[in-house]
Amino acid sequence: MDKQITSHILKGAILAGISILFSIIIYVFNLYTTSWLSWLNYAIFIGGIIYGNVLFANQNNNNVTFGNIFAHGFKTTAVTIVITVLYTVLALYVLFPDMVDKIIEMSRVEMAKNPKLTDEMIEQGIAMTKKLFLPFAVAGAIFGTGFMGAFGSLIGAAVAKKNPVDPFSAVQSKVEDNQAIDQSL
């Protein structure tokens, strides 16, 4: 019986679900300024990619190459990116429309702490932030998750046990088997 290989789609959906759960917890408990939570989210994501890569190698009896494992990890990352971007847009416009205002207000408070910024400069910065918030949020989700996923895929591909089968030796043994059969006939 063949081993069942866990799909990169399932792994990506699970990792995206964990990331979304973190985002909801941060929103509900108003933990925007707690930066270690976002680092914890990235650590869990990288750990999930590494674990998924090792699992992929093990499910293939370690008959994989570095490239096979890295590709699987990055496909998992791509699924996570798609789900995370969809959630980001949905969260900003449907689920938590006041999230943008809360983040903008926190930015205003941080800008006001800088004595070099005038009120006019702060207002210009806030206006620009409001206008470009969604593109920056989506770009941040794409590039942040993509970078961390590539990093996790590299580590996962490096630590997973590999015992690749040489495809040319398999072809050569088939040719030899066929020649033996022909000679016996």
Residue 147 lies in a domain: yes
The answer to whether the beta carbons of residues 46 and 152 sit under 8 Å apart is: yes
Confidence at 162, pLDDT banded by 50, 70, 90: confident
Average pLDDT over residues 154-173: 77
Q: CA 74, 80, 83 angle in degrees (round to 5)?
A: 145
Residue 129 lies in a domain: no
Beta strands in the chain (DSSP E): none
Average pLDDT over residues 126-150: 90
Summarised one tens digit per residue, pLDDT across range 94-128 is 888 888 888 888 888 888 887 887 888 888 888 88
Domain hosting 37: range is 8-96+136-179
pLDDT at 37 over 70: yes
More confident residue, 170 or 86: 86
Question: Mapping DSSP to helix (H, G, I), strand (E, B) and coil, where does residue 64 land?
Answer: coil
pLDDT at 172 over 60: no
Average pLDDT over residues 133-145: 90
Q: CA 41, 42, 47 angle in degrees (round to 5)?
A: 100
Whole-prediction pTM value? Answer: 0.79
The answer to whether the beta carbons of residues 103 and 32 sit under 8 Å apart is: yes
pLDDT at 1 over 50: no
Please tell me the predicted confidence (pLDDT) of residue 21: 92
Residue 109 lies in a domain: no
Confidence at 2, pLDDT banded by 50, 70, 90: low
Rounded CA gap, 9 and 15, in Å?
A: 10
Residue 54 lies in a domain: yes
Residue 18 lies in a domain: yes
Which two structure tokens, joined as six digits, stand for 94?
Answer: 């449907």
More confident residue, 36 or 158: 158
Residue 1 lies in a domain: no
Split into its structural domains, the chain has a count of 1
% of residues, the chain, pLDDT over 90: 41
Residue 49 lies in a domain: yes
Residue 123 lies in a domain: no
